[in-house]
Each structure stands twice: as C-alpha cells, then as structure tokens.
Structure 1
Amino acid sequence: MPAVIAKFHDRFPEVNVTIVECPVHLDAEQILREGRADIGFTLLPTTDEFEAWEILRDEYVLLIPPNTKFSDPPTWTDIATLPLIVPPADQPCEIDLYRHFARFAAPLNIVHKINQDSTIVSMVMQNLGVGILPRLAAEPIPEVIQTRSLPHRTRNSDLFARNSDF
C-alpha cells in the first residue's frame, strides 16, 4: 500500500491522504459514519449503509520452506497433512478463510496461530511449518520460499463510502 499512496500523492498532490488503521472493519465503518474519513478499505462485505467497489483480489498462497518438495498444484488432501502456520481465526479478515477451511478441507494440522504476517514468513524460513497468507500480506517473500496458490481462495479488498456521499 505505501507504493500506491506515494504514486497517488505524486499524481494528485492537492489531495490530502491520511491513513488510520483499524483492527476491526466495524471501526472503519464508524469513522466513515462520523465523517472523520471520506472513504475506507475493507475486506468484508459492508451493510447497505455503504457503497462498496471491489478494487483488488489477492490470492491466498502456501508459503513452503526452502528445500521442501511439494506437489503442484496442491490439493486440500495434501494441505491437510502439513504442519500449518496461519493467522488466528478471530482476526476479522481471516474469518472467511476459516469458513473456507471448514467447507473444503479435511481437518487441518494447524501447529501455530500467529498474528503478524512477517512472523509467519520468518517461521517458514526457519522450517517451522508451511504458512498460509494472502500473497500481498506475505510480501516481500524471500526468494528461497516456494509459493503455491491455495485451491480456490482469494481475498477481496473493497473501497467503501457512505451511500449519502454519492
């Protein structure tokens, strides 16, 4: 996102951009309701009170430790046998991922639940398991870490604003 903001600022220097990170999408919605922001980004569907536009689809990837042999493309059966390092299920942006796991995957072997994306990447580098993250969250991905697309899974990012603003 920093590169996008810098490019936007270069192109539109008269537009003031302030970023307020919210741990929960409901906080971002409240900031818009209060008029403290004109637009927001969300990973989850919003209520009818807001207009939303999809701006990005980010695929989930397996982050595979260096020197590990792995089938391509992976199946859920393959993935279920791996020691997985994943974000916790209580993070709002991961709720849908866990629903996807429940729907398509055999019981998974989750050995670590880690909040920080960079920590997951570092743990994979140390051969402590196989990570699952959205590709953009995992970047920069070290060259020695292999990646494979997670079967049938993306994360959508939406730009949203109050309906009354449009």
Structure 2
Amino acid sequence: MNLQQLRYVVATAEHRTMTDAARSLYIAQPALSRAIRDLERELGMTLFARSGRGVVVTAHGRRVVKLAREALDAVHEIEALATNTPSSGSELRVASTPSLEPGLAGRLLPAYVAEHPDVRVHIVRCEGREAVVSAVREQRADLGLTDLPVPTDLVSHPVERQEIVLISPPGADLPNPVPLARLNGLRLVLPAPGSPRRREFDHIFATYGVRPIPAVETDERGGWLRAVRDGKASLLWYRGMADQAARTGLVVRSLDPQLKKIIAVVHARKRLTTVAQDFLTLAEGGSAA
C-alpha cells in the first residue's frame, strides 16, 4: 500500500466512475483500475462494485476511503510542520497559466507585495492547467492560479469567473456579440483531440448543438494567436487575452449567451504557510481578472 493508491481510492470514491477519476488525476483509466485491483488484492477486500457505467463504494470501501482521507491529511500536516513559520525574506511561488498571468502580475501581486514587502514572490510560468497542477504537486509552487476543474488531491478556492471570447482575424463577417449558433461551421483553433481542454470544448459544442471546423489542432499555445493572425481560423479563449490580441490587430468579440469559466487558487491538501495563506486571503477578497 502506498500514498498514491490512497489518492486513487479517494478520487474514485468522489467521482464514482473510473474514467472521471482517472481524468481528474491525469492518468490513464487502465492504470487507475490496475492500481485499485492491486490494493484490493493486498487488503483482501472489495472496495468498489460496478454499477452500470460507474462504481459504488462497498461497506469496506467506505471505511477505507474515510481512513485514506485521514491518512492523506495527516501526511500533509506533517509536511507543513517545517514551513508554517513566517520569517524575514520569505518566498512565495505562484504557478500561473499564460492567459491568467496578466491579471496575477497586474493586480494581485502589486497589492500583495505592498502589504508584504519582505516576501519575495516568483511566478512559475506554466503552459496550461496540467502544468500548474504538476508544479503544485511537485512543490515547485506553493499556490497555483488556473481554471477548474483540477484533480481532487488539490484544494481549490474560486476567486472569479472569466469570460470566454472569440478572437478572429480582421475582416471576419461576424456580429458582436457572436451567437453561439454562428460557431457552427466556423474554422477554429482547438486543443489536440483527446486532451482535457479539448474535451471541455467538445462538451460546450455538444451542449449548444454546434459543430465548428477544427482548422488547427495543437496544444502548443504559443502558436494559437499566430494561427489567428495568419488568417487560418478564430480562437476561443479568455477575456484576459483580449488586450494582447487587439494589440496585434485581431478582433475580440463576446459570445451570446456568455460562456464563463471559474478561476481558482489551488494548493496541495496541507496546511499553508503564512505567506501563502495571506496571498489566498487577498485573492479571495479581490480579483484575478
């Protein structure tokens, strides 16, 4: 038995399907199923029973899940013992995605530094939500700023809802705002098929019954705006990218109805350092728009 298996058990109990649990943990579903089976064999008991397309927690499983949560909390408490005392020259590391960094650097950080001039703040630049999650898990960052959802082994504190807009080449024959129905047949820059971000977009398209044309499919974010500038397609992204896009001559339009994503500060399930808790308090009381 190891801590990873305990995290897998908790995630499976919370999501009630192996597929959703694996997705929240950013691992393959067969790997999760195998780890759960190995743990069940080791314990000599069944933790989850199949029910339709999902799973239900057995009586033994409920007890194990409760103890697993307590064990993970205890581990995080132990890890925090040496890091909970503020001192002069303390350091705070905040991981952020590129589209959220302008709000972080432009509003939250100046306000925080003004109140805590002795704290050295570093932005850990991450190419996407998965990289933010990894930075926090691997303790390369104390906190992360990203959109939801994140895996269940992290704690999230929503701080705002950010609008998704359509960024298009100049000359595109589109109204402002753009009815979501106009996305049907529209050429779009999209994340790679099968990626977590692409699945979220596909869910939005299915919800509103639209079928855009995937003109560019890549997870290389650096090329997204370049593809729009080259006239290849339009891009759905956050309002925070609007200024950067407009400076390069692109056109930013709202959608009708508006689409918004929840932005949150995330951290590991452990007691935060004082400097991290102070930043979280500021973020929850302000905005990272």
Q: TM-score range by the shorter chain?
A: 0.7 to 0.9
* CA RMSD in angstroms, aligned pairs only: 2.9
Q: Which moved more, 1:120-129 or 1:40-49?
A: 40-49
Which residue of 253, 260, 267 maps to 1:148?
253
Q: Which moved more, 1:91-100 or 1:128-137?
A: 91-100
Tell whether the 8 Å contact from 1:9 to 1:15 is kept in structure 2 after alignment.
Answer: no
> What percentage of aligned pairs have identical amino acids?
21
What pairs with 1:10-159 in structure 2 (closer than 5 Å)? 10-11=113-114, 12-22=116-126, 24=130, 25-32=132-139, 37-46=141-150, 49-137=153-241, 139-143=243-247, 144-150=249-255, 151-159=257-265
CA displacement at 1:140 relative to structure 2: 0.5
Structure 1: distance between partners of 2:233 and 2:271 = 46
Q: Normalized per residue, which structure has more strand?
A: 1
The answer for unaligned runs of 5 or more in structure 2 is 1-100, 273-289
CA displacement at 1:94 relative to structure 2: 4.7
Give the alignment's TM-score, normalised by structure 1.
0.76
SS of the aligned residue for 2:246 comes to coil
CA displacement at 1:138 relative to structure 2: 5.2
Structure 2: distance between partners of 1:90 and 1:18 = 32
Tell whether the 8 Å contact from 2:137 to 2:268 is kept in structure 1 after alignment.
Answer: no
Give the alignment's TM-score, normalised by structure 2.
0.47
The amino acid of 2:267's aligned partner reads A
User: Which residue of the partner structure matches residue 27 of structure 2?
Assistant: none
Structure 2: distance between partners of 1:30 and 1:18 = 17
CA displacement at 1:158 relative to structure 2: 0.6
**After superposition, what is the alpha-carbon deviation per residue over 1:56-102, rounded to whole angstroms, capped at 9, x for unaligned?**
32211111211222123322321112111223344544542332122
Change (3 A) 1:89 1:55: farther
CA displacement at 1:9 relative to structure 2: 6.2
Larger radius of gyration: 2
Q: How many residues align?
A: 163
Structure 1: distance between partners of 2:157 and 2:109 = 21
Tell whether the 8 Å contact from 2:186 to 2:213 is kept in structure 1 after alignment.
Answer: yes
Q: Which moved more, 1:127-136 or 1:43-52?
A: 43-52
Tell whether the 8 Å contact from 1:79 to 1:108 is kept in structure 2 after alignment.
Answer: yes
The answer for unaligned runs of 5 or more in structure 1 is none
Change (3 A) 1:79 1:4: same
Structure 2: distance between partners of 1:48 and 1:130 = 33
Tell whether the 8 Å contact from 1:89 to 1:98 is kept in structure 2 after alignment.
Answer: no
Q: Normalized per residue, which structure has more helix?
A: 2
SS of the aligned residue for 1:115 comes to coil
